[in-house]
Amino acid sequence: MRLRPSPLVIVATLALGVLFLKPILVTSQTTTPAPLSAYQVGKEKSGFIYLDAPLRAMQNDDFSNPGYLWVQKGQALWSTADGTNGKSCQTCHSAAETSMRGVGARYPAYDPKSGKVIDLEQRINEMRVDMMGAKPYKWESPQLLALTTFVKLQSRGMPVDVTTTGPAHAAWVAGKTFYDTPRGQLGVSCQMCHVQHAGDQLRSDTLSQGQTNGFPTYRLKWQAVGSVQRRFRGCNAKVRAQPLPFGSQQYVDLELYVASRGQGLPIETPSVRR
């Protein structure tokens, strides 16, 4: 398992239409890749297991992994002051490498203030509004994706550890109900593909278990990093159901349930997926 967050510093300066980017020289990238068994807990398999060798290599090399472009951007945003209070994330949380370690593994989590379960994106935006006096980032905006990816990277290698009991239980039940309910013109539920038929072929592709331990993920189809909710919307549209809007509570509850299915799987953010 790879537990080494690689610290990168990027300072971009813009001069007269020509972008000069200060070099970031990443030190040696060679680490022994974790055995495949590290990506499986009991019967739960990470999407990593369903990848072919070149994609696994791409994910495991912090340089060739394009998700790192978002990490780099997220790292810059972490220390950029924004909003009326003149604060950045760093002002209160200092180094993300220590303060954010394990945070990504806990979300979605119950938020006493709003009285509901919120995901990492909502948590970041809540902090921006309450503590920084800044505008919330738009869902799926490059900034929100970058910051979420950067924060979740700090938990890489740690097991998914969401709480499904106590005040979060109702949301977990709602998420499970959503997961098991057939929807759309095709009348297909999440579990039909990702539980009953996981590992089977769907045309040329192998159905995975739909685990979310690698999100936000760099998906080749998107040629970009995307959130779990973007994936949910894509799945919903594929069964010809009306996708729900980003940030809807049903999707957040679903995120919690899906995360709980993969309890114990290592966080792989930013993962590479087909």
Partner 1 sequence: MDQTVQSRLLVPSTAKKGDIIEIKTLISHPMLSGFTKDSSGKTIPRDIINTFTCTFNGQQVFKMDLNPAISANPFISFPVRVDQSGTFEFTWVDDNGKIYKNTAQITVS
**Residues marked as catalytic:** 235
Residues engaged in binding partner 1 (CB under 8 A): 10, 12, 17-21, 23-26, 29, 63-64, 66, 68-70, 72-73, 142-143, 220, 223-224
**Nearest residue (CB) to partner 1, 72 versus 163:** 72
Distance CA 209, CA 216 (A): 16
Of the candidates 146, 161, 233, 148, the one whose C-alpha atom is nearest the C-alpha of residue 190 is: 233
Please report how close the Cβ of residue 128 comes to partner 1 at its closest, in angstroms: 18
Q: How far, in Å, are 21, 37, 139 from residue 76 at the CA level?
A: 13, 34, 19
Instruction: Taking the CA atoms of 220, 223, 224 and 230 in sequence, report the sign of the dihedral they define.
Output: negative
Distance CA 88, CA 75 (A): 11
Please report how close the Cβ of residue 27 comes to partner 1 at its closest, in angstroms: 9
**Tokens encoding 271:** 């993962």
Please report how close the Cβ of residue 166 comes to partner 1 at its closest, in angstroms: 39
- C-alpha of 171 from chain center: 19
Distance CA 227, CA 115 (A): 23
Contact present, 221 and 227 (Cβ < 8 Å): no
| Radius of gyration over every alpha carbon of the chain, rounded to an integer in angstroms | 19
**Nearest residue (CB) to partner 1, 68 versus 179:** 68
Please report how close the Cβ of residue 89 comes to partner 1 at its closest, in angstroms: 19
**Nearest residue (CB) to partner 1, 20 versus 240:** 20
**Nearest residue (CB) to partner 1, 18 versus 53:** 18
Please report how close the Cβ of residue 170 comes to partner 1 at its closest, in angstroms: 37
**Nearest residue (CB) to partner 1, 29 versus 242:** 29
Q: Which residues contact 246 (CB under 8 A, 6 or more apart)?
A: 139, 140, 227, 229, 230, 233
